[in-house]
Structure 1
């Protein structure tokens, strides 16, 4: 009987030892992870370190690729208000370019409520930088030439000509340029949740995250001056309502995680 008890005890000790070996110990910054991600924030690179089994700290940078959209839009001329001596070649189209390029940085604290080797997490933190969500640019040689030729009537010319962007009339500046952008807050709190650890148990792992940045109200700028979107259009349309009420930026992120040590 004693031999049987000793054998059972030895077996139990062996199982306990094997289980302990399977457990991945996390201490305060005793490991380091390097990660690459693709998300609605762009292409991201980050570093992370565990604090305990329940906490993980990360910092990263996200690059939104320079996606450009080009097209021709109509030009609206109200030549009836111009003096007779002012002549402007009537060009019906002007080329404009939309650019979505931006860069942001973030710091996040990931909480694993079940500890151990559990991969479910809740994240909280903030993103900063990249206040411009998108830019709009364009140029008209004809309008620039008219203002250069008739500088006395600059304001009259600028007030009588605009580019028709869908339902909106966008003004030119004195150089014949169109410069507009949409901006949000520089500092944006963040919350999210998902599965996966940024410092994985094995050398390589995967992680999925869904969350949102609280970016505040969208603001429309033209020539670095804020304008109300309904001032660009006489009617109160759906786009005006979206810009007025859209205050969060959705984040969906897929990450390849790696443990350096």
Structure 2
């Protein structure tokens, strides 16, 4: 009798352990599936946001190329600048993402700005984009770090090109400013939860835009974050999980480096928040 009882107990124990193991396996498998779904969703978002950002930069760059060709062909005298001003006034409504368009002389003086009236005696020879074009003969467009516009005090990103004189020497810079607010408006329509974040950074780690917006983060460099030191070293798109150096929140990250432009798009979800449905 005792032997039968021991066998029954043993059988029940084996069955119980098997059911517990199966349940645990199913729970962990469902967690892995939830994480996979979250990562896929994040990667899809980075693709859409990267395409949006690239489109704006390319459109701005092509517009600048047209202005550079006119400046190099017709010159940058008062009459020519006035004609360009009229052209810009007609075209700017077609590009609502542009905060302003400015033309600078070789010494940094403002020759024209679509944000009128512009500050008397305004000079931008100290700006990073102006110094870049002055010192670098490249004709490619340059994406500058976020700055406060001297025309309207808004946070903006600059896209700029150099133009030369008849001898091929540096003659000045033409730049468009993209309002940070436009990016924040778009990013804010995407539900990333209370602990989520969306970021657009330069490939050297310089933050261009982050949602939610925190002014103290503008222009901050994240080149020492795991995204740059560990993940972007070997691949241009992927997912990761680590604790943010900004606020100490553990997040699930999806990241994508542009194939054509020096930009990195990231979408992050708070891990605890993202797995809430799985825990239920």
Q: What TM-score results when the alignment is normalised by the length of structure 2? A: 0.27
Larger relative contact order (Cα-Cα within 8 Å, sequence gap ≥ 6): 1
- Specify the structure having the higher radius of gyration (Cα): 1
Q: As a proportion of its length, which structure holds more helix?
A: 2
